[in-house]
Amino acid sequence: MIAIVDYGLGNLGSIANMLKKVGAAATITADPAVIRQADRLILPGVGAFDTGMRNLEERGLIPLLNERVLGDEVPILGVCLGMQLLGRRSEEGQLPGLGWLDAAAVRFKFEGVNAHLKIPHMGWNELTVCQPHPLFADLQEESRFYFVHSYHVVCADPANVLARTTYGFDFTSAVVKGNIIGVQFHPEKSHRFGMTLLQNFAERV
Amino acid sequence: MLLPRVIPCLLLRNAGLVKTIRFQDPTYLGDPINIVKIFNDKEVDELVFLDITATVEDRPPPFDLLSKVSSEAFMPLGYGGGVRRLEDVRAILSLGIEKVIINTYAAENPAFVSAAADFAGSQSVVVSIDVKRDWRGRYQVYTHGGRKATGREPVEYAAQMERAGAGELLLNSIDRDGTMQGYDLELIRRVCSAVSIPVVACGGARTVHDLAAAIHQGGASAVAAGSMFVFQGPLRAVLINFPTRDELKAAFSGEM
């Protein structure tokens, strides 16, 4: 069973809806007992970095997530803000992130020929997958995903970069470190492309 | 490659989908859920739903219908019509609809736009601006589904909505609505040059070239259309359609 971690932020219903469509058992929960039994976790999130960390803290979820992800090595998928929280910090906030990845979120900055680009990066964009991973099984090169974000993740270790996307420059759009995976885009809003990705997470990761 | 978003704009009336001409004479298109399923199969970039009578009938948004729509649609969604309370904003977002569109109440109470942005983040708050030319040819903002003139000038109004916290503007030309005569590029250009948030142009599209013109000549970030995606041929037979990704790529790169 997949636990979609409910910490008061994010598109929980849409993720659950798409997992249901691909036949994966999932539940939206903040209940430690349920999270303790899950064989996979999804950390969604839309909103501000500090709000995300504070909400996790207030619900007492951080030690439990550390135990499940670092101790039990349960696969976890961070989505959008959920991916940014996997790192150590963000320019958006003051609070430390979960720190599972040596990474930080920084705000898009455009100048020169790219000065016209809007922030947030909003719309459908493509990925260049940097290393083979079951998350991207059966996804063709022209697959596209829906993005909405003003900050992007920078990894200290290039081995953690799972996919890159171009918006003005190449930024990291997916990360991996063992059982820890993050995607900057919204698979739950990305048609069959996102559906395949979530099914891969449910069945192959 | 990031292509501009192309967004079917669907009008709800009495729980059915309709298409208007200059905001009048609604033609019934069909059941919203069926039409959503077709647009889902066509893998459209995003869908916008506007309940065009919620405000004038003083109704809240049709949450039950929106819940059904959301469970059938695997793309970004926006909803507008009768949004007047933070509770409406919260309820819409909780259904998996990530953009809440505010029109009449934004004009009446711009502080509500700020409150909605504080609550949900600017990226979730869209202000919809309906514009019509008066008899002297001057642009004016209308509310209440095009029924009520505000006396406001759209460029200054758009800038005010950006300051209030809107993350995006949906700019509708009442004069072009349903006419398929092309977008009002002058209006789009004026508004886009006055704000830095994305502007979604709406009203008048007939072909992918019109879509490209709104982006390249008007400066819009995204384009919305109704008739183009629901009618076929000069007799306006109802047929849900959407350009392929290749057609859009070609149009936006100027190859067609």
Question: Considering CB atoms only, which of A21, A47, A146 is closest to B76?
Answer: A146
- Could you say which DSSP state residue A70 is in? I
Question: Considering CB atoms only, which of B45, B94, B196 is closest to A124?
Answer: B45
Return the pLDDT at B254. 77
Q: What are the chain B neighbours of A47 within 8 Å (beta carbons)?
A: 121
Catalytic residue positions of B? 130
- Helix (H, G, I), strand (E, B), or coil: what is residue A143? coil
Q: What are the chain A neighbours of B69 within 8 Å (beta carbons)?
A: none
ipTM above 0.90, yes or no: yes
Question: What are the CA-CA distances from residue B134 to residues A76, B96, B108, B140, B238 (Å)?
Answer: 57, 39, 21, 7, 32
Return the pLDDT at B169. 98
Return the pLDDT at A100. 98
- The residues of chain B scoring below 70 in pLDDT are 255-256
Tens of pLDDT, residue by residue over B145-161, are: 999 999 999 999 999 99
| Domain segments of chain A as ranges | 2-203
Contact B74 A190 (CB under 8 A): yes
Residue B59's nearest CA partner among B24, B97, B14 is B14
Q: How many Å apart are CA A3 and CA A1, to the nearest integer? A: 6
- The residues of chain A scoring below 50 in pLDDT are none
Return the pLDDT at A10. 77
Return the pLDDT at B3. 92
In chain B, DSSP assigns E strands to 5-13, 16-21, 24-30, 47-51, 77-80, 99-102, 125-133, 139-143, 148-149, 168-173, 199-202, 222-225, 231-232, 237-238
Q: Chain A residue with minimal CA distance to B68?
A: A17
Contact A123 B4 (CB under 8 A): yes
Q: Which site among B75, B169, B199, B221 would you substitute to test the A interface, given the most A Cβ atoms closer than 10 Å to its Cβ?
A: B75
Q: What are the chain B neighbours of A188 within 8 Å (beta carbons)?
A: 74
Q: How many Å apart are CA A92 and CA B175, to the nearest integer? A: 42
Per DSSP, the residues of B125-193 read EEEEEEEEE-TTS-EEEEETTTTEE----HHHHHHHHHHHT-SEEEEEETTTTTT-S---HHHHHHHHH
Contact A47 B74 (CB under 8 A): no
Return the pLDDT at B1. 78
- Helix (H, G, I), strand (E, B), or coil: what is residue A154? strand
Six-digit token pair at A179?
């059982």
Question: Considering CB atoms only, which of A11, A121, A122 is closest to B96?
Answer: A11
CATH 3.30.1240.10 for domain A2-203: no
Give chain B's domains with CATH numbers.
5-252 (3.20.20.70)
CA–CA min distance B4, chain A (Å)? 7
CA–CA min distance B41, chain A (Å)? 9
Return the pLDDT at B255. 61
Q: How many Å apart are CA A174 and CA A161, to the nearest integer? A: 6
CA–CA min distance A92, chain B (Å)? 13
Question: Considering CB atoms only, which of A17, A125, A188 is closest to B2?
Answer: A125
Residues in chain B: 256
Q: What is the pTM of this model?
A: 0.95
Contact A123 B45 (CB under 8 A): yes
Q: How many Å apart are CA A128 and CA A81, to the nearest integer? A: 21
Return the pLDDT at B25. 96
CA–CA min distance B46, chain A (Å)? 9
Beta carbons of A106 and A168 less than 8 angstroms apart:
no
Question: What are the CA-CA distances from residue A48 to residues A85, A121, B47, B89 (Å)?
Answer: 10, 16, 25, 18
Q: Which site among B74, B94, B123 would you substitute to test the A interface, given the most A Cβ atoms closer than 10 Å to its Cβ?
A: B74
